[in-house]
Amino acid sequence: MKAIIGYLGVPRRSLQSFLQRWIVDGVQSLPGKKSGRPPGSQKVTLPIIAAIKEKQETSAIGKFRMAAFLKQQFGVEVSPASCGRFMAKNRHLYALLARPQKVPPPKKLMPFKATYPHQYWSVDICSIEHHRLPDHDGPFYIITVLDNYSRKIVASAPSRTQDLWAFLLVFCTALYVYGAPAGLVSDGGSVFTAHASVALYQRLAIRKEQIEAGKPWQDYVETHFAVMKRMELYALERATTWEEVCATHARFVVDYNNQEHFAHQDRSDGRHTPSEVMGWVRGQPVEAPTLRELFDLIYGTRKINRVGYIRYANWRIYSDEQLAGQKASVWVMKETHTLTIVHEEAALAEYGVLFAADGRHFDEMRESRTFPSPAHPPPPRLWDERVMDAIEWRKVYRARQYAPRRRRKLGTSFIQEPLFA
Burial class (CB in 10 A: 0-12, 13-18, 19+), 67: buried
| Residues 313, 170, 290, 219, CA torsion sign | negative
**394: number of Cβ within 10 Å:** 10
For residue 397, report the phi and psi dihedrals to the nearest 5 degrees. -155, 160
Q: What is the pLDDT of residues 149-191, one digit of tens each?
A: 999 999 998 988 888 878 988 898 899 889 999 999 999 998 9
**CB hemisphere CA count around 11 (13 angstroms):** 7
For the chain, what is the radius of gyration of the CA atoms? 29
Q: What is the pLDDT of residue 275?
A: 93
For residue 253, report the phi and psi dihedrals to the nearest 5 degrees. -60, -45
pLDDT at residue 40 tops 50 = no
pLDDT: which is higher, 190 or 4: 190
pLDDT: which is higher, 253 or 135: 253
Give the three-class secondary structure for 381. Answer: coil
pLDDT at residue 62 tops 90 = no
Q: What is the pLDDT of residue 184?
A: 96
Q: What is the pLDDT of residue 7?
A: 72
pLDDT: which is higher, 239 or 8: 239
DSSP code, position 361? S
Percent of the chain residues past pLDDT 90, beyond the cut: 24
Average pLDDT over residues 106-114: 82
Query: Domain extents for the chain?
Result: 2-94, 120-278, 297-398
Within 8 A by CB and 6+ apart from 381, the residues are none
Average pLDDT over residues 94-103: 60
120-278, what's its fold?
Nucleotidyltransferase; domain 5 (3.30.420)
Q: What is the pLDDT of residue 156?
A: 92
Residue 49 near residue 74 (C-beta atoms within 8 A): no
Q: What is the pLDDT of residue 382?
A: 53
Q: What is the pLDDT of residue 100?
A: 54
Q: What is the pLDDT of residues 343-354, one digit of tens each?
A: 766 778 888 888
Angle between helices 46-58 and 80-94 (to 10 degrees): 70
User: pLDDT band for position 413 (50/70/90)?
Assistant: low
DSSP assignment of 98-152 equals PPPP-PPPPP---TT--SSTTSEEEEEEEEE-----TT--S-EEEEEEEETTT--
pLDDT at residue 98 tops 60 = no
Q: What is the pLDDT of residues 299-338, one digit of tens each?
A: 678 899 988 899 988 889 998 888 888 888 887 776 667 7
Q: What is the pLDDT of residue 278?
A: 94
Q: How far is CA 293 from the centre of its chain?
A: 26
Q: What is the pLDDT of residue 354?
A: 86
Distance of alpha carbon 142 from alpha carbon 232, whole angstroms: 12
Distance of alpha carbon 8 from alpha carbon 38, whole angstroms: 11
Give the three-class secondary structure for 315. Answer: strand
In this structure, of 17-31, 63-77, 184-198, 370-384, the range with the lowest mean pLDDT score is 370-384
- Please give the mean pLDDT across all residues of the chain: 81
pLDDT at residue 406 tops 90 = no
User: pLDDT band for position 99 (50/70/90)?
Assistant: low
**CB hemisphere CA count around 262 (13 angstroms):** 10
Out of 105-109, 221-225, 341-345, 378-382, the most confident range is 221-225
DSSP code, position 41? G
Give the Å distances, CA to CA, from 62 to 103, 228, 372.
15, 12, 37
User: pLDDT band for position 87 (50/70/90)?
Assistant: confident
Q: What is the pLDDT of residue 375?
A: 57
pLDDT at residue 19 tops 70 = yes
